[in-house]
Structure 1
Amino acid sequence: MNQQATTLILENFGYYLAVYTDPFNKRIRVDDYRGNLKQALEEAEILVRKHKAEKLIVKGRKEDTLKLFEFGLQPEAVIDRYFHGSDAILFSKFYTSDRKHNNHWLMEDGIVHSIYQLDSSSLKSTPPKEYQLKKVNETHAEQLSALYSQVFQIYPTPLQDSEYIKKTMKEGTLYYAFFYQEKIVSAASAEINGFYKNAELTDCATLTEHRKYGLMKLILQELEGELQRKGIFCAYSIARSLSFGMNAVLYQLGYSYRGRLMNNVYIYDKLENMNMWVKDLAGC
């Protein structure tokens, strides 16, 4: 099976469907749809069978909730104001028993509970002057790919490939990074949906020896500022449910927990649950 993820636009009499096929993570994701929802979902399931996917994800509209239930989908998370100010509900359907089973759920509930006990105002991060925060471009793609290769043994997108990073930059993804002795030691990106005016803050990585200075908070704040200047106010981020640190960073930056995607992507060394965090940048 081809391991290359692909976005497909399927149009037929009665419906429109934008689908992300993701063989590496064994899933199909419906990013947008219009028209006859039953026909669109049946087409999505044809792709599930074709790609031997184990999970179907649908970014659903609130008004379609009952129809999505009828199709066997269950809600997992919400992205406030995703569709031009209207909420998106992420529905999922599983096709194997293993993909629906997880041993970490109660532990991850405890992590979320612990994070909500934190002081959300403790944001001050002042790294030493040797650290420089910059917006990065295609000339830094090799350094970015080296960072991601060091931090992640497995990652759901091919960020270890500098050509892939250049491709995402050409498509409008923003990257900011901290440099130390002229080398990138921490980075994150904002993947922008220009049509619906939202952005996913993602690809957050910091080398272990540089994690004590709160670099990621500063990078995410810089990305938020640029999104605001572009008129994009729906920001969301999906963090590993077992990572106390990254979830705590998002909470302290004013993001709100909006659910958990079970067995969503392969990251670090296994298939992991991912927490959804959402922020309205217009309220900053």
Structure 2
Amino acid sequence: MFETIENIDGALVYHGNMHNRIYFTEADHVDLDTLLPKMKELAKEKRYEKILGKASEKGVDIFKSKGFTVEAKIPGLYNGTIDGYFLADYTNQKRLINDEKSMKTIATVKTIAKAANKPNTDSYFGLPVDLSIKQLSKSDFHLLEDLHKKAYKYHPHQIKDVSYFSKLEKLNHEFYGLYKNGELLVSAILDVNTEEANVEIVDFVTHPDYRGQNLSYFLVQNIKKQMDKLCCKTIYTMVRATSYGLNITFSKHGFMLAGTLVNNCVVRDTLESMNVWYFKGV
């Protein structure tokens, strides 16, 4: 399994050795005074270096009292009215350290991406005639797995497979793909939360032969058009903080920067900080 997914005291918890991290999302009915010590105990047991939690503003003070600090904030993440926060606790303080080169790159990416930000009224770029976008179903999961195998050929431990996609589908995830001449070139996975009226774009994968062509732009454009259908008021995503392309793409689509999650996950064998971007529907 790519990552263990389980429900602990009402919170959805993702954890595993690949990212050496716990990531969990809490809901209104979760007792944080009980949950947070369990997360710390799980981290100690599994020797995870970081615990990341997504919570509403109502739980922030409890998180802080348990040693967590805010790394990102999304205004109105919950139903368009209640702010959402990403809070982190580090069981290994070395996990917080970034070398000077990475810090400079992250700062430069933020500056350039913010400068590319455009309002919602900016021009719509039509999908090229040789490209098409469709929502994927379970019968397409083998294509998703094949795309992962091509994208992560030299990093097989990061390949998500059909069984993992099936598990995500049961957790209200949707799948979209961009095709050219019948071949899947780019995929996106959405975590749809109708109770909170938000959607997270949790995964973008691009065929290695088509990287650098900014094809993800058209998928993001399509996902924004799905907001009413998905009953969401906010879209958010986490992007590698050193990636000029995706950070600029989201900024061009009117997404705003919410903050940076320090050394949050492993991408192609490299521990990466992640910028959080969000878009509010009109």
TM-score normalised to structure 2 length: 0.86
SS of alignment partner, residue 86 of structure 2: strand
* Structure 2 residue 241 is the aligned partner of structure 1 residue 247: no
Aligned equivalent of 1:21: 15
* Structure 2 residue 205 is the aligned partner of structure 1 residue 205: yes
For the 8 Å contact 1:27–1:57, the answer to whether it is kept is yes
What is the alpha-carbon root mean square deviation over aligned residues?
A: 2.5
Identity of aligned residues (%): 19
Residue-by-residue CA offset, 1:47-75 (whole Å, 9 max, x unaligned): 11122111011223324434332321111
* Structure 2 residue 129 is the aligned partner of structure 1 residue 138: no
For 2:26, which of 24, 32, 46 is the aligned residue? 32
For residues 165 and 38 of structure 1, do their structure 2 counterparts lie closer, same or farther at Cα, with a shift above 3 Å needed? closer
Higher relative contact order, chain-length normalized (CA < 8 Å, sep 6+): 2
Matching residue's letter, 1:109: A
- Report matched runs for 1:185-204 at 5 Å: 185-204=185-204
Aligned equivalent of 2:6: 7
- Report matched runs for 1:90-129 at 5 Å: 90-103=86-99, 104-118=102-116, 120=118, 125-126=125-126, 128-129=128-129
Aligned equivalent of 1:221: 221
Counterparts of 1:263 and 1:77, CA distance in 2? 13
For the 8 Å contact 1:155–1:267, the answer to whether it is kept is no
The alpha-carbon deviation at position 29 of structure 1 amounts to 2.4
* Structure 2 residue 69 is the aligned partner of structure 1 residue 74: yes
Q: How many corresponding residue pairs?
A: 275
The alpha-carbon deviation at position 110 of structure 1 amounts to 1.4
The alpha-carbon deviation at position 252 of structure 1 amounts to 0.6
SS of alignment partner, residue 195 of structure 1: coil
Which 5+ residue runs of structure 1 have no aligned equivalent? 11-15
For residues 49 and 263 of structure 1, do their structure 2 counterparts lie closer, same or farther at Cα, with a shift above 3 Å needed? same
The alpha-carbon deviation at position 83 of structure 1 amounts to 2.6
The alpha-carbon deviation at position 77 of structure 1 amounts to 0.7
For the 8 Å contact 2:3–2:14, the answer to whether it is kept is no
The alpha-carbon deviation at position 17 of structure 1 amounts to 4.6
SS of alignment partner, residue 247 of structure 2: helix
Residue-by-residue CA offset, 1:134-182 (whole Å, 9 max, x unaligned): 22212221211121222235499652x1222233234432222121221
For the 8 Å contact 1:201–1:220, the answer to whether it is kept is no
Counterparts of 1:191 and 1:92, CA distance in 2? 21
The alpha-carbon deviation at position 113 of structure 1 amounts to 0.6
For residues 126 and 113 of structure 1, do their structure 2 counterparts lie closer, same or farther at Cα, with a shift above 3 Å needed? same
The alpha-carbon deviation at position 107 of structure 1 amounts to 1.8
Which moved further from structure 2: 148-157 or 199-208? 148-157
* Structure 2 residue 85 is the aligned partner of structure 1 residue 89: yes
Counterparts of 2:127 and 2:226, CA distance in 1? 21
For the 8 Å contact 2:198–2:235, the answer to whether it is kept is yes
Residue-by-residue CA offset, 1:203-229 (whole Å, 9 max, x unaligned): 212224435654212212222222322
SS of alignment partner, residue 277 of structure 1: strand
The alpha-carbon deviation at position 102 of structure 1 amounts to 1.3
SS of alignment partner, residue 227 of structure 2: helix
Matching residue's letter, 1:215: L
Counterparts of 2:88 and 2:254, CA distance in 1? 27
SS of alignment partner, residue 248 of structure 2: helix
